[in-house]
Amino acid sequence: MQFNSIILPSQVVVPFGVALAHLILTIYVISSHEIHRDKAFGLFVAYLNLTILWNINLVVISVGHISNGTFLVRLAPYGLVVIAAIYWLFTRTFLQQSWPNRWVWAIPTTVILFATGFDYEWLGLPPSVYTWSYGWLFPANVGVILCVICAAGFIGLSFLTVQLQLLRTQSPAHRNRIQFLLIATLFLLVGYGLYLSLLEPFWTTGLIITCLGSSLATYVVAVEDLIDLSTAARYTVSWLLTVLITIAVYIAGIYLVQIFLGDLLASTLPAGWVDPVLLVAVVTAVLLTIVYIPIQQLSRVLTNRIVFGQIYDYQKVIQRYTQFISNILYPDELASVALSHIKQTFGVTKGILLMLDAESLESYEFRTIPLAATSLFPARLLLARESAIIDRWVEQGRPLAQYTIDISVQFRNVPEADRQALQALNLEWFVPILKQDQLIGVFALGPKISRQRYSTQDLRLLQTLADQTALALENASLVDRLQRHLEETTRMKNLMDSVFDSMQTGVMTIDKQGKITHFNKSAAAILNLSTRNTIGTPYQKLVPNLANTIFSNLMKNVMDRDERYTNYEIISELPERGRVNLTVNMAPLKDAQNQTKGVTVVLEDMTETKRLKAVQDMFRRYVSPAVVDRLPANPSELELGGHRQEITILFADIRGFTKFSEHMDPEKLVDTLNEYLSM
């Protein structure tokens, strides 16, 4: 088939090239292993495939010289509606917005149905409408205009959706990704707008622009680490300013040499000996060779400071940072100083230090410091040990961005609890702190005040600062653990003292030298000990009478032979108490190596119990034992007024008692009666 040389490039080659480009993009997206196969991926592949078919349809229409009104010609606007709707769904899904309601699907479906009705003249508009349109609307193009309005609406809605998401997003990395998607959507909006003009060369240019938009969208979908637009723009501006300054220096140099030295050199040297213009050029070249490099360096520094903001000196930052943190022994103070220095150097808005507090076979537990930050961040963070996050920190020793965790395929299997915990921090970068390949902490940093992304130089310097922090943090961790162990030991000691003091039984520990090392209030009351000057004093000196009893022998047996004694009764004389009855329990006091360090003595004062038992035994001599046994143990239970109760009494006499008693002594008679009545 012969093609007209004018029709060939515009109506065949361009749509075919665009279709081929979209086919290449589709193959690249499908074959890429770095893309997460989610709903957004499926919608984007569908968009690319529909665009391929739509452009092939344009090629077929152009090659076949198909006239208006046929199915293929009418299919072009219908396909444009579907492409625009699919792209809008892709942008919403890619930006992790909620899936639209079902009624949204009714919009493109209804538009296509109405457009079909108008195209096949099943539907029509009143003639007054065509008159009102001044000729731009007629029965043959009503369906096309409906499809164009619908497609433009969906593409415009996509642009608005991306723009609103950009305004709501704070993360510079995510904003950069959304900016690329916004530019891609703008290309599609402009490209399809130019195509719909159906005028040469606008509609072919529009197809090329749509191809650029699709390529840029593919770049957003397929690549994780995108070029930073703001940084690229700043580097471009910096380069342009440096070039302009260089040109200005050259022009100024030539001009100044011409003014100040041109006439002088011309008048000094013999006429005709040298060309004045060449002489000025040579002098200018020599002077510029001398002053150009310093001027260029100065201009580059000034330009970078103007364009990129504050510029830090790598070595000075490390030196000052090391001096600040080298002598700090407390984690909270270390975190405050380190983060303050980092914020000042990089212009960071917020940050915390996650110090490794405990680790197990399943997880790492981090503690948030400084303590003041716990009002804004969780006090503790628990992360699974076997996850890509810990692998990046420990095995690779590399910083990790929250942006990477959110979009990278490598981190899609991260436990959801870990993902949500890190997202809740609302921070940008996590820089591991390693000591001999062991993770001891993580710097978690927020975005910069300037909203710029962290550059490669920033991350390299942060990693160096983290390495410098490792030794100081390890020392601070040791001090912190010792301090916490001391606090725990003090708490346990206070608890044990409270328990011992609340016991009614006396508890006392004695070392191998016979010195009292511990006693509670009950032991002090039983042995009449003073709370002063008792600890460290031999018990033989404090209670010599007790030492003169079997108590000392029992102590020796426990210390030498690890014997134990239970409920051993000892009677002794104590100052201000007199004779006491004690029940003693003894056991060896062991250390962690199971070595005997002394004796634990448990005392129970039985003096009052023995006295009451003696009174009870004396009372038993005058009253029937059955009556004594029925007396309540608690005197408060006795009712002095008595109580009324029905009883049965048997009146009886002992036969022959009178004759029996007349011939017996009174004492023997009473014993006989007691024996008889107690049966």
What pLDDT does 157 receive?
92
The first and second tokens of residue 147, run together, are: 């499809």
- Between the ranges 116-125, 165-174, 288-297, where is the mean pLDDT highest? 165-174
Closest of 303, 324, 203 to residue 246, by C-alpha: 303
Residue appearing with tokens 């680490």? 225
Indicate the pairing of strand 578-590 with strand 596-605.
antiparallel
In the chain, list all ranges with CATH 1.20.1070.
7-226
What mean pLDDT comes out for the span 394-423? Answer: 86
What mean pLDDT comes out for the span 69-85? Answer: 83
In the chain, list all ranges with CATH 3.30.450.40.
314-482
What pLDDT does 171 receive?
80
Kindly report the average pLDDT of the chain as a whole number: 81
- The phi and psi torsions of 63 (rounded to 5 degrees) equal -65, -40
Answer for the pair 214, 22: CB distance below 8 angstroms, yes or no.
yes
**Eight-class DSSP state of 101:** P
Q: Is the pLDDT of residue 634 over 70?
A: no
What mean pLDDT comes out for the span 68-95? Answer: 85
Amino acid letter for position 57: N
* Second CATH level (architecture) for the domain 503-610: 2-Layer Sandwich (3.30)
Per-residue pLDDT tens digits for 368-381 = 988 888 888 998 99
Secondary structure class of 266 (helix, strand, coil): helix
In the chain, list all ranges with CATH 3.30.450.20.
503-610
Amino acid letter for position 433: I
- Say how far apart CA 481 and CA 476 lie, in whole Å: 9
CA angle 423, 426, 428 (to 5 degrees): 100
Q: Is the pLDDT of residue 6 over 50?
A: no
Query: Model-level pTM?
Result: 0.62
Per-residue pLDDT tens digits for 353-364 = 999 988 888 899
What pLDDT does 2 receive?
34
Side-chain half-sphere exposure of 86, counting CA atoms within 13 A: 18
- Between the ranges 408-422, 601-615, 618-632, where is the mean pLDDT highest? 408-422
Residue appearing with tokens 């978690």? 444
Sort residue 502 into left (φ over 0), alpha (ψ -120 to 50) or beta: alpha
Decide if domain 7-226 falls under CATH 1.20.1070.
Answer: yes
Model confidence band, residue 268 (pLDDT cutoffs 50, 70, 90): low
- Say how far apart CA 42 and CA 36 lie, in whole Å: 10
Distances (CA, A) of 380 to 73, 368, 423: 64, 6, 14
**111 compared with 626, residue with greater pLDDT:** 111
What pLDDT does 5 receive?
38
* CATH number of this structure's domain 314-482: 3.30.450.40
Model confidence band, residue 8 (pLDDT cutoffs 50, 70, 90): very low
Looking at 313-455, which runs of residues are DSSP E strands?
A: 351-359, 363-369, 380-384, 400-401, 429-435, 438-445
Model confidence band, residue 99 (pLDDT cutoffs 50, 70, 90): confident
Answer for the pair 540, 547: CB distance below 8 angstroms, yes or no.
yes
- Say how far apart CA 315 and CA 296 lie, in whole Å: 23
Q: Is the pLDDT of residue 4 over 70?
A: no
**Eight-class DSSP state of 67:** P
Answer for the pair 574, 548: CB distance below 8 angstroms, yes or no.
no
Model confidence band, residue 121 (pLDDT cutoffs 50, 70, 90): confident
Per-residue pLDDT tens digits for 435-453 = 888 999 999 999 888 777 8
- Return the H-helix or E-strand segment holding 260: none
Per-residue pLDDT tens digits for 243-258 = 787 777 777 777 777 6
How much helix, strand and coil, in percent to the nearest 5, is found in the chain?
60, 15, 25
Model confidence band, residue 126 (pLDDT cutoffs 50, 70, 90): confident
**Lowest-confidence range among 90-104, 186-200, 625-639?**
625-639
Q: Is the pLDDT of residue 585 over 70?
A: yes
What pLDDT does 371 receive?
83
Per-residue pLDDT tens digits for 210-237 = 999 999 999 988 887 788 777 777 777 7
Share of the chain above pLDDT 90, in %: 20
Compute the CA torsion angle 591, 594, 595, 598 (nearest 10 deg): 50
- Say how far apart CA 138 and CA 148 lie, in whole Å: 15
What pLDDT does 445 receive?
93
- Say how far apart CA 397 and CA 401 lie, in whole Å: 13
Share of the chain above pLDDT 70, in %: 83
